[in-house]
């Protein structure tokens, strides 16, 4: 009995891994394991029956009564509207034409597109779905390897959570009670660095290994004609949208959360300007948004059950004890924390990780002293950005990675999950390299906010 209680967290964790690979919906697995382990824990006396009655409170407080999360439906709605009104598609096609001559041009266009979308949305779902639907079929048709194509799409799609505005940064700023504007600006340069690193990798891969990204024939004269006019129009509209979203925040009119509504309304308006809004199109936009949101929040409400029961049977205790028992100097602790966040990212989503880890690590970080490397008053911002870049990998790492779910959900049978898994490996490695880079060179994070604010 004692032994069973001891290993219960590990068992629960193991069941999740096995269950996820059963091919049942992720939410079904999470919810089922929640109930099964509640029953085990109750029969072992590790949990009281009444404790399970807290699940509705957690679902209500976490997913419904949450002023920050209202940005999620709005940003997803905006993304789907941009997709259905083909405004995003125009931009992508133009980018693809402009980058035609560069090795890996189609994939580069995806990364560029992801970066632009990232500046307009605060979550990842919208961009991943949009890029998948618009870019993946073309890349595959043009002979790109499924791995490179999927990797380019998910990595570009997840930039939205790092490049402001970002729901994740809002969440972290709220928990840490630090200056959110400063945190936004601090995350900007690392986000752009990441985009550039992705692009460099794509160019190198395409040059060294053209079979993965075959070069395309040069533009014909017919295609070249009017390209600049077309380019300026397809750039102008998204640019207007980004200006509206960021402008409403910086102009002191809307909070970062509320700006999502500006984005959704802006997308509808641009669709009208391009005369591409019809009742049928609006119906499709609602359909796509509702499905994506249902998928996302079904996982949220089951994951909150999983995390709760995991906590009760002592799973979190292990994490806390490890973090506290560290006696390895400030750099050692930092490395350990980063490793832990990365490892948790395989199995939990960023909300749970932020909820579990941030309150624990905030005081630890508060006591850190890295001497001249990072000024004391900047340390928490630098750490938050390190954590944000680190958490970005959690979207990509299997088995539990939201970006992968979004990609697979939108792509259907175009790519297999195995190809996606293989495809994300180089991009996760690139994220780790960038994480190391901004750890080594903190000015990449801190210079801009200190110069602007």
Partner 1 sequence: ETLDMQAYVPQTLPVLGTAGVDLAERVGRLTGGEIEIVYHDPGALVPTNEILDAVSTGAIAAGWYTPGLAEGVIPAAPLFTAFPFGPDAVEYTAWWYQGGGKELWAELSAPFGIHTELCTMLAPEASGWFAEPIESPDDLAGLKMRIFGLGASVLEKLGAQAQSMGVGDTVTGLNLGTLDAAEISFPALDLQLGMQEHASHYYFPGWHQQSSLITFIVNQDVWDGMDDSHRAAIQEVCAANVALTIAEGESIQLAPLAQLEAEGVTVHQWNDEMLAAFRGGWDEVLAERTAADADFARVWDSITTFRADYATWADLGYLD
Partner 2 sequence: MLKIAHLFERICHYAARLAGLLLFVLTFVVLYDIIGRQFFNTGSVALQELEWHIHGAIVMLGFGYAYTRNSHVRIDIVSQSFSDRTKMKLEIVGIVLLLTPFLLVILWYGVDFAHRSFVRGESSSGGLGLDHRWIIKSAVPLSALIALMGAWSVLIRSVAALRGQNVSPYRKEPLWNS
If one asks whether residue 166 binds Na ion (CB under 5 A), the answer comes out as: yes
If one asks whether residue 29 binds partner 1 (CB under 8 A), the answer comes out as: no
Phi, psi of 300 (to 5 degrees): -55, -50
Longest dimension (CA), the chain: 77
Could you tell which of partner 2, partner 1, Na ion, none binds residue 163, using a CB distance below 5 to 8 A set by kind? Na ion
What number of other Cβ atoms are within 10 A of residue 281's Cβ?
15
| DSSP 8-state code for residue 64 | I
If one asks whether residue 138 binds partner 1 (CB under 8 A), the answer comes out as: no
Determine which residue in the list 174, 230, 284, 330 makes contact with partner 1, applying CB under 8 A: 174
Is the Cβ of residue 383 or residue 400 nearer to Na ion in the bound state? 400
Q: Is 36 exposed, middle or buried (0-12, 13-18, 19+ CB in 10 A)?
A: middle
Mask for 51-80, x = binds partner 1 (CB under 8 A): x-xx--xx-xxx--x-xx------------
* Exposure of 85 in the CB half-sphere (CA atoms within 13 A): 27
Please list, in sequence order, all residues whose beta carbon lies within 8 angstroms of the beta carbon of residue 332, skipping any fewer than 6 positions away: 326
Count of positions (residues) in the chain: 453
Place of tokens 């040069």: 218
If one asks whether residue 163 binds Na ion (CB under 5 A), the answer comes out as: yes
If one asks whether residue 4 binds partner 1 (CB under 8 A), the answer comes out as: no
Determine which residue in the list 73, 160, 238, 271 makes contact with Na ion, applying CB under 5 A: 160
Determine which residue in the list 311, 375, 432, 450 makes contact with partner 1, applying CB under 8 A: 311
Is the Cβ of residue 17 or residue 54 nearer to partner 1 in the bound state? 54
Is the Cβ of residue 42 or residue 414 nearer to partner 1 in the bound state? 42
Please, what is the end-to-end C-alpha distance for the chain in angstroms?
A: 58
Please report how close the Cβ of residue 25 comes to partner 2 at its closest, in angstroms. Answer: 4
Instruction: Please give the structure tokens belonging to residue 278.
Output: 């019809």
Per-residue b or e along 370-395, where b marks 16 or more CB atoms closer than 10 Å to that residue's CB: eeeebeeebbbbbbbbbbbbbbbbbb
Is the Cβ of residue 144 or residue 308 nearer to partner 1 in the bound state? 308
| DSSP 8-state code for residue 254 | S
| Binding region for partner 1 (CB under 8 A) | 48, 50-51, 53-54, 57-58, 60-62, 65, 67-68, 170-171, 173-174, 177-181, 184, 249-257, 308, 311, 355, 359, 362-363, 366, 453
């Amino acid at each position: 009995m004692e032994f069973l209680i001891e290993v219960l967290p590990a068992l629960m964790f193991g069941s999740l891994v096995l269950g996820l690979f059963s091919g049942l919906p992720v939410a079904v697995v999470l919810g089922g394991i929640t109930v099964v382990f509640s029953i085990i824990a109750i029969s072992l006396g590790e949990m009281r029956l009444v404790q399970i009655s807290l699940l509705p409170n957690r679902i209500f407080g976490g997913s419904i009564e949450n002023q920050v999360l209202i940005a999620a439906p709005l940003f997803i709605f905006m993304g789907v509207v941009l997709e259905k009104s083909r405004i995003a598609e125009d931009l992508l096609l133009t980018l693809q034409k402009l980058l035609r001559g560069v090795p890996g041009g189609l994939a580069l266009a995806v990364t560029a597109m992801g970066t632009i979308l990232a500046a307009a949305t605060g979550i990842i779902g919208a961009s991943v779905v949009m890029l998948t639907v618009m870019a993946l079929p073309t890349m595959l048709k043009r002979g790109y390897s499924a791995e490179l194509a999927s990797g380019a799409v998910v990595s570009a799609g997840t930039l939205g959570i790092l490049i402001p505005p970002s729901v994740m940064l809002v969440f972290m700023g709220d928990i840490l009670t630090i200056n959110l504007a400063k945190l936004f600006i601090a995350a900007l340069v690392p986000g752009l660095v990441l985009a550039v690193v992705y692009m460099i990798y794509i160019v190198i891969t395409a040059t060294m290994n053209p079979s993965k990204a075959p070069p395309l024939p040069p533009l014909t004269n017919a295609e070249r004609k009017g390209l600049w006019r077309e380019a300026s129009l397809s750039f102008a509209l998204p640019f207007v949208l980004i200006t509206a979203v960021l402008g409403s925040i910086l102009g002191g009119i809307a909070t970062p959360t509320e700006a999502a509504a500006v984005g959704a309304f802006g997308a509808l308006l641009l669709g009208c300007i391009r005369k591409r809004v019809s009742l049928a199109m609006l119906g499709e936009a609602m359909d796509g948004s509702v499905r994506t949101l249902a998928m996302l929040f079904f996982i949220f409400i089951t994951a909150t059950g999983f995390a709760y029961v995991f906590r009760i049977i002592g799973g979190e205790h292990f994490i806390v004890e490890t973090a506290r028992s560290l006696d390895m100097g400030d750099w050692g602790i930092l490395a350990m924390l980063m490793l832990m966040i990365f490892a948790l990212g395989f199995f939990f989503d960023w909300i749970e990780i932020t909820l579990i880890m941030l309150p624990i690590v905030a005081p630890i970080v508060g006591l850190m002293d890295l001497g001249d490397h990072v000024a004391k008053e900047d340390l928490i911002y630098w750490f938050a950005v390190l954590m944000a870049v680190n958490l970005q990998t959690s979207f990509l790492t299997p088995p539990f990675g939201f970006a992968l779910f979004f990609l697979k959900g939108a792509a259907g049978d175009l790519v297999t999950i195995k190809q996606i898994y293989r495809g994300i490996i180089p991009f996760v490695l690139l994220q780790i390299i960038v994480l190391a880079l901004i750890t080594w060179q903190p000015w990449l994070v801190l210079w801009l906010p200190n110069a602007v604010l």
